[in-house]
A = this chain, B = another copy of it.
Amino acid sequence: MTVAFSVSARDGNARTGELHTAHGTIRTPAFMPVGTSATVKAMTPEAVRQTGADIILGNTYHLMLRPSAERIARLGGLHKFMHWDGPILTDSGGFQVMSLSKLRKLSEQCVTFQSHLDGATYELSPERAMEIQHLLGSDITMALDECTPFPASEADAETSMQLSMRWAQRSKDAFVKRDGYALFGIVQGGIYPKLREQSAHALTSIGFDGYAVGGLAVGEGQELMFRVLDFTLPHLPQERPRYLMGVGKPDDIIGAVMRGIDMFDCVIPTRSGRFARAYTGEGERNIQNARYAEDARPLEADCPCPACRHYSRAYLHHLFKADEMLGPMLLTWHNLTFYQRLMQGLRDAIAGNRLDDFAQAFLRRYRGKDNDKA
C-alpha cells in the first residue's frame, strides 16, 4: 500500500488510528474542513490548523473550472498555491458535476457538462479526474464515480453502480502510484444491500488505499443512512480507512463512527458559520436571535477558539446584525473548532473503550432544552 493506516484501538465497530500521507499524519476518526476553491472560506490556513484539523478537502470540479488544475500545477501545486502544508483530499468532481453544472451528458467514456460559471463545455473522464488530481498534488485522490440519485429504483441504482465500478477500474489504471499518495474507491448501490455488497466486492477486487461510501447524505435521512452503513461496512476490509462523503451533523458523525467510519467531510460547520448558526455542546444557536443581544457570556465557556475566548455572544450578535465580515470569520472558526473537539472526544473515547458513554452524554446535552432549533 502507498499509504500506511494503523489502528491503535477499537471500541465495538469503531476504531481510532493514524493514516500516514506525503504531507503528514491524519488522526482518525477525522473531520476534513471543506476548502472548495483553494480556501476554507473565511479562514486562514493557520487558523484551520489551530482548530485541530489534520487534513482539508478540495473540490476538483471548482478548481478545474477556476483557476484550472494546469494553472495550479504551474504555480507549484495546490498545497503551495493555498499555503496549506498538511494533507489534502480532493474529490473526483463527479458529485458537483451532477449538482452544479448545466447540460450534463453521461456516456460510458465520460461526463460532458457546461460550467456553472461561464457555460464553457468540459469533459470529465476517470482518466481526466486522475490527471487533474495529480496536477493538484492531492494526497488522497478519489476515483471518479456517478453519484446515484436518491431515490432510485434498484435497476437504475445497479446500472449506475456498475458504471461507477468500471470507472473505478479505469481510475485505478490511470492513477500514478507514489509513496504517501492514496487512491480511494467509492462504494455505490443506493439503499440496496445486494448492490452495496457487489460494489464493495468489486472495489476490493480492484484494490484501493481506502474506501468511501458514496451516494449518502443526499436526502435519505439519518435512519436510512445508518442502515446502509450497517449492511455495507462489513464488506469493506478492516485494515483500510473508510470515508463517509459529505457527512454531516454532529449526531450523524457520532453514529457513523460507532459503525466504523474513519473520515468525514462536510460544509456544515463552515457554511453555518457564515449564516450565524453556531454549533455548541448544548446544541445549535442562531446568534442573530434577539435573546443574545445583551448576553455577555461566551458562546461556549470551555471552548478554546478566539470567538469564545475573546468575545461575548452579544458581540457576535452585533457583528451579524451589522453584516460585518468578522462575524462569519469568528463563527466559522468556532464551528470548525467544535467539530474538531468532537473528533478528539471520539478518538479519546475509543482509545479509552468508553465510546457508548461518550456518545450518550454528548447527545443528551446536545439535544437538551437549551437548543435553539433556530
Chain B residues within an 8 Å CB radius of A4? none
A373 at the interface (CB under 8 A from B): no
CB closest chain-B residue, reference A310:
B83
* Cβ contacts A118-150/B at 8 Å (1 or 0 each): 000000000000000000000000000000000
Chain B residues within an 8 Å CB radius of A201? none
B329 to A67, Cβ gap below 8 A?
no
A325 to B41, Cβ gap below 8 A?
yes
Chain B residues within an 8 Å CB radius of A371? none
CB closest chain-B residue, reference A324:
B39
A322 at the interface (CB under 8 A from B): yes
Pick from B46, B66, B314: contact of A71, CB below 8 A: B314
Distance to closest chain B CB from A329 (angstroms): 7
Interface stretch among A74-82, A91-99, A256-264? Answer: A74-82
A-B CB proximity, top 5 nearest: A83-B310, A37-B322, A42-B325, A39-B326, A67-B318
B314 to A325, Cβ gap below 8 A?
no
Pick from B37, B75, B296, B315: contact of A312, CB below 8 A: B75
Chain B residues within an 8 Å CB radius of A76? 296
With the chains together, A306 CA to B83 CA distance in Å? 10
Chain A residues proximal to chain B, CB less than 8 Å: 37-39, 41-46, 62, 66-67, 71, 74-76, 81-83, 293-294, 296, 306, 310-312, 314-315, 318-319, 321-322, 324-326, 328-330
Distance to closest chain B CB from A314 (angstroms): 5
Task: Decide yes or no: A67 and B326 within 8 Å by CB, A74-B294, A294-B75, A306-B44 being known contacts.
Answer: no
Distance to closest chain B CB from A231 (angstroms): 40
CB closest chain-B residue, reference A40:
B326
Distance to closest chain B CB from A88 (angstroms): 15
Chain B residues within an 8 Å CB radius of A328? 325
With the chains together, A1 CA to B288 CA distance in Å? 43
With the chains together, A123 CA to B1 CA distance in Å? 73
B83 to A326, Cβ gap below 8 A?
no
Pick from B39, B306, B312, B321: contact of A319, CB below 8 A: B39
With the chains together, A89 CA to B231 CA distance in Å? 64
A43 to B315, Cβ gap below 8 A?
no
B293 to A326, Cβ gap below 8 A?
no
With the chains together, A41 CA to B326 CA distance in Å? 7
Jot down 15 A-B pairs with beta carbons below 8 A, ordered by A: A37-B318, A39-B322, A39-B324, A39-B326, A42-B326, A43-B326, A44-B306, A44-B326, A71-B293, A71-B314, A75-B294, A81-B312, A81-B314, A81-B318, A329-B329
With the chains together, A83 CA to B312 CA distance in Å? 10
Distance to closest chain B CB from A136 (angstroms): 13
Pick from B43, B66, B314, B329: contact of A75, CB below 8 A: B314
With the chains together, A37 CA to B46 CA distance in Å? 26
With the chains together, A324 CA to B66 CA distance in Å? 12
With the chains together, A310 CA to B44 CA distance in Å? 10
Distance to closest chain B CB from A51 (angstroms): 15
Chain B residues within an 8 Å CB radius of A41? 324-326
